[in-house]
Structure 1
C-alpha cells in the first residue's frame, strides 16, 4: 500500500472482473455478421477511435474496439489514478520510472498497465496514453480550435476550414462537452495563477484568446466543496483526474457507442499484427491478451470487413510499417512512416515571475496568446497550471510555445532488431529550438523591460530537464493525409483500411493542442466513409 492508498490486489481484482465481462462479450458477439454482413474493427479507443466506434455503432456495424490498456472507471472514493507528487504503477505503461515528472524521476515504481507511455526515439521523446479512452485520459484538457490562417497553413487545401468550422469543430465540442473556465471559478483564490497569466498578457500588450477545456466544471466546484477529491483544483492531470472532472472519451463517445448495442470494447488486448483475410475481403488482426502486470494470457484473432486504426500516431504507424516490412500488407505506400511531427511544441518554464501565481495553481489553464510578428512565422503561447511544490508554485510557471516548423521525422523498420523505431532529426539548437528560445526571450523582455519591471519571469528551457523541444504529448503524422492516405483517412493500397487518429494529421494542426482537431477530423472521416458504404 502506498501513500495514495493504491492496492495492487484491489486493482487486479477489478481489472480482472472488467476484462472477463468485456472479453466474454466480445468473443460471443464480435465480430458476427449482421444481416447486411457489416463488421468492423477499431484498434485504439482515444479521440479518433471513440469517434469511429460511435459512428459505426450508430450505422449498424457490428464493431469490436481493441484497447491495449485497462478500463479506468472513476472510483467514488477518489483513488482511480496515481497522483503527480506520489506516483505509483498506475502512472506508467510498464515502466519502473514515473513518466514526465523530473521531480520524481528517481522514485521507483512497479511495472503495471498504467496510463502514460514514453517512447524514447532517436532525437525526441513522445508521450502517449494507454487505457480505455487512450490519450484523452492524460491530455491537459485543452480543446482549442485553430485559427483559419494556421489551419490552412498546416493542412492540404482539400480540407475546407469553412466546413470544419461550420460542422465538425462544433460537433466535436458538443460531444466532448467543452467550455471555458467559468467566471465564478476564476474569482476563487485558487485561480490566482489564471488571473496572473492574464496580467502577464496585459503586460506583454496582447489580448488573451480564451480556451475551451474538456472539463465538467460542476465537478470542479464539488472538488472545492469537499465532496470530490481535489484534482483539477490542485493542477493534477497528467496521470488522470480522480474527481472524474475531465471529459475524456470514456465519459462520452465510448459509452454512447456501447449503448448502441453494436459496439464492444475489449481492454487489455494489444494488437500486434494485421493481415488481409484469406477467404474474402477484409482483415485479420492478431492481439495479445495481457494482464495488468504485462503477462501474456493468450493470443486471439479478430476478423472484420473494414478496419480503422486509431492506436495513436506512433502505434498506428508502427502497425502499418511492420505489416509492410513483414509482407502482410504488401500494397502499402512507401509514404507510410513518413511525416512525423511534434506539432511545433516547445516547453518552457518561467521563474521569478512579477505576478504571484499563488501557492496552489488550480487548472487546467485559461487562455493563450498569438504573436504574428516573428519573421520566422507565427507562434502561440499558453499557460498550464502545474502541481508544483508550494515553495515554487507562486514564482514558477509552465508554458507551451508552439511554432510552425519544417522539422519532420519518420517511423522506420529496423531489420537488425525486427522492430520499428522513431527517428527525428532534431538537433539541439535547431530550427524549432531557435524560434522557441527567441520568443521566450521576447516575451520576457517585452512584458518586463518596456514597463520598467526588473523581470517578468526568466525563461528556462533546458532539454536536460525535459524542456525545450526534447519531448511532446502531441506527436502527429506517420500516415499523413494526401501522402500515405486520402484526406478522409483511407490508406492507399486498401479500400477498406482507414486511419482516423493523429497519425493522419500532417505533423501539426496549427499552433494549438491537437485533441479537438483530431476529433473533428475523425468525425469528417466517418461521415465520408458512411456516405460511401
Structure 2
C-alpha cells in the first residue's frame, strides 16, 4: 500500500468549532488514538469525507516551556474532569476539574488510564513498539486473525509510519540512561540477558535535550503525561497530519460523544455530542449523523458507548459479547533497590527487555523502565506485561446511576501478574545484588486497557460490529483482554490497518 510516512506538524484551532460543523457526514470516527488515527488516514486516502471527534484537546509542543505537568508536579491539565490528581503511586493532590490529558477510571480493584487528547494513548505512552509472541497471540485470538498477515504486512507498515527504532548507542551511553545499563547488567548477571526493543522516540530531540538545546523532558523521566517538546513520534506527528493532508478529514477537538443510536428512518447513525471549553464546562451540544461509524474511543470508552447503547435500547441488536473479555494486559510495575549508580535522572525511553516464558506462574515480557522520582536514588524500575489468559472483567449498565461500570474486577485479578513480576524481581535481587525487596504500587493499575468488544465475538474478524451494518470497532476494545506479552500499541494499530484494508476493499 502506498502511504505517507509523516505528515508534518498538526495544527488545529484551539476550539472544536462544533457549531460550524456540518450535521451529516459520510463517516465519523470517535477517537484519535491508534485505531482512530489509522481509520482517519485510510478513509481520507480512499476519498471518504470523514469527521474525527476527539473529547480532549490538541496540545502544542514547545522547545522551551513545560506544556504538561508530571508525576512530581501535578497540574489540573493532566487529568480529565478530576477533582484530585491520582495515578498509581502519586500522592492525591487537589486540582480543578477540566478536560485534561488523561482520565483515570477507578473500576473495582484497578486504576485504568484512558487518554483524553488528540493523539490518544500515543501522547501518554512510553513509545514501546513490540509485537506479541506468536504462540500467545494464537492462543488469544480467533484462528481467522492470522499472525503471519500482521507480521508480514501490518506491523511493518505501522512501525514505518511511527518511525519506531532502537535506542542509538550514544544515547544509551549518556548519563540519563545509567539506569538502563544497570538494569541490563543486573539481569545479565541473574541469567536473563536482555535484547534491544524499538520505541517511537525522536532521537534527534533526545539529543537536543542532552545538549541543552531543548527543555529536558524524556531524559528526566517524563512520558506518562506527555513530552512537552514532542520527543515522542506520537500520532500528531504522522498519522493525523497525514490524514488531514488528504483534504477529506477534519478533526473536532474537545467534542465528547455521549451516546450513539441509529439514524433517522433507521439509516446510518446519530451521534450525540457535547462541546467542552478548554478551561472546563460544556458550551454546546448537538446531534451529528453519518453513514459509517468507527468506534475508536479506547477500550473503556468504546465499551461504555456500546454497552449503554445496547442496554438502553438505542442499539438493541448488539450481542451479549459487548462489554466482555476486558483485561488489564497483565501490567505490573515493580521498583527494586540497586547497589550501584543509577544516574542523576532516569530517562523515559526504554532500551531493552527480556521475555520470560517459564518459572514465574505466567509468561511475561520484562522491560527496563524509569521513574521520575528516582533520579539519583538507588532504585531501578521494572515494567512487565504478563500473558494473563484468565483474569477478565465485564462492563454492565447500571440503570440506577445511568453509568456503565465494571463491578467484577477485584484486587485478586491483579494478583497473578503482580506476583509474577515481584517473584522475577526478587530472583534478580537474590542472584548477587544486595538490595531491598521489591516494592509494588499500593493499587493495581493498567495503562493498557483492552477488550470490551472482542474481535470474532462482538464483531466479525475485521471489527464489523455484529448486528449492524456500517458500525465498526477499530481500537483496543477488539483485543481480548491481553496482547500476548506485549505493550499493545503496535497490535492495536496493526489490527486497525488490517480492518481498514478489508473494510475499504469490500465497500464496508
Alpha-carbon offset, residue 425 of structure 1: 3.2
Mapping for residues 141-220 of structure 1, pairs under 5 Å: 141-220=127-206
- Partner secondary structure for residue 69 of structure 1: coil
Contact 1:355 1:456 in 2 (8 A): no
2: CA distance, partners of 1:312 / 1:232? 25
- Counterpart for residue 471 of structure 1: 445
- Counterpart for residue 530 of structure 1: 504
- Partner secondary structure for residue 334 of structure 1: coil
- Counterpart for residue 297 of structure 1: 283
Mapping for residues 369-380 of structure 1, pairs under 5 Å: 369-374=354-359, 376-380=361-365
Alpha-carbon offset, residue 53 of structure 1: 0.3
Alpha-carbon offset, residue 309 of structure 1: 0.2
- Counterpart for residue 502 of structure 1: 476
2: CA distance, partners of 1:231 / 1:396? 19
2: CA distance, partners of 1:449 / 1:77? 44
- Counterpart for residue 366 of structure 1: 351
2: CA distance, partners of 1:396 / 1:261? 47
- Counterpart for residue 14 of structure 2: 18
Mapping for residues 251-290 of structure 1, pairs under 5 Å: 251-279=237-265, 281-290=267-276
Q: Within the alignment, does 1:353 sit opposite 2:338 as a pair?
A: yes
Q: Within the alignment, does 1:412 sit opposite 2:396 as a pair?
A: yes
- Counterpart for residue 27 of structure 1: 21
1: CA distance, partners of 2:374 / 2:356? 31
- Counterpart for residue 62 of structure 1: 49
Q: 2:492 aligns with which of 518, 523, 527?
A: 518
Alpha-carbon offset, residue 173 of structure 1: 0.5
Comparing 279-288 with 513-522, greater Cα deviation is found at 279-288
Alpha-carbon offset, residue 379 of structure 1: 2.0
- Partner secondary structure for residue 199 of structure 1: helix
- Counterpart for residue 83 of structure 1: 70
Residues 508-528 of structure 1, C-alpha deviations (whole Å, 9 max, x = no match): 111111011100000000000
- Counterpart for residue 8 of structure 1: none
2: CA distance, partners of 1:449 / 1:389? 22
Report the count of equivalent residues.
497
2: CA distance, partners of 1:401 / 1:505? 14
- Partner secondary structure for residue 400 of structure 2: coil
Task: Give unpaired runs (5+ residues) of structure 2.
Answer: 1-10
Alpha-carbon offset, residue 17 of structure 1: 5.1
Q: Within the alignment, does 1:108 sit opposite 2:82 as a pair?
A: no
1: CA distance, partners of 2:12 / 2:178? 43
Alpha-carbon offset, residue 273 of structure 1: 1.3
Alpha-carbon offset, residue 76 of structure 1: 4.2
2: CA distance, partners of 1:343 / 1:16? 33
Residues 356-402 of structure 1, C-alpha deviations (whole Å, 9 max, x = no match): 3222111222111111222743222112111115453x324243352
2: CA distance, partners of 1:289 / 1:435? 39
Q: Within the alignment, does 1:441 sit opposite 2:423 as a pair?
A: yes
Tell me the TM-score normalized by structure 1. 0.89
**Bigger relative contact order (CA 8 A; separation at least 6):** 2
- Partner secondary structure for residue 85 of structure 2: coil
Contact 1:123 1:423 in 2 (8 A): no
- Counterpart for residue 7 of structure 2: none
Residues 418-468 of structure 1, C-alpha deviations (whole Å, 9 max, x = no match): 21112233343x5x52453245224423x3444xx2525621125xx33xx
Contact 1:99 1:117 in 2 (8 A): no
Q: Within the alignment, does 1:484 sit opposite 2:458 as a pair?
A: yes
2: CA distance, partners of 1:375 / 1:81? 37
Aligned pair in 2 of structure 1 residues 436, 95: CA closer, same or farther (>3 Å)?
Answer: closer
- Counterpart for residue 3 of structure 1: none
Aligned pair in 2 of structure 1 residues 280, 234: CA closer, same or farther (>3 Å)?
Answer: same
1: CA distance, partners of 2:488 / 2:225? 19
Mapping for residues 425-436 of structure 1, pairs under 5 Å: 425-428=409-412, 432-434=414-416, 436=418
Alpha-carbon offset, residue 338 of structure 1: 0.8
- Counterpart for residue 9 of structure 1: none
1: CA distance, partners of 2:129 / 2:210? 23
Aligned pair in 2 of structure 1 residues 454, 341: CA closer, same or farther (>3 Å)?
Answer: closer
- Partner secondary structure for residue 85 of structure 1: coil
- Partner secondary structure for residue 308 of structure 1: strand
Residues 128-176 of structure 1, C-alpha deviations (whole Å, 9 max, x = no match): 1111111111111111112212222222211111111100000010111
2: CA distance, partners of 1:161 / 1:524? 11
Aligned pair in 2 of structure 1 residues 251, 152: CA closer, same or farther (>3 Å)?
Answer: same
- Partner secondary structure for residue 287 of structure 1: strand
1: CA distance, partners of 2:286 / 2:56? 16
- Partner secondary structure for residue 165 of structure 2: coil
2: CA distance, partners of 1:529 / 1:278? 24
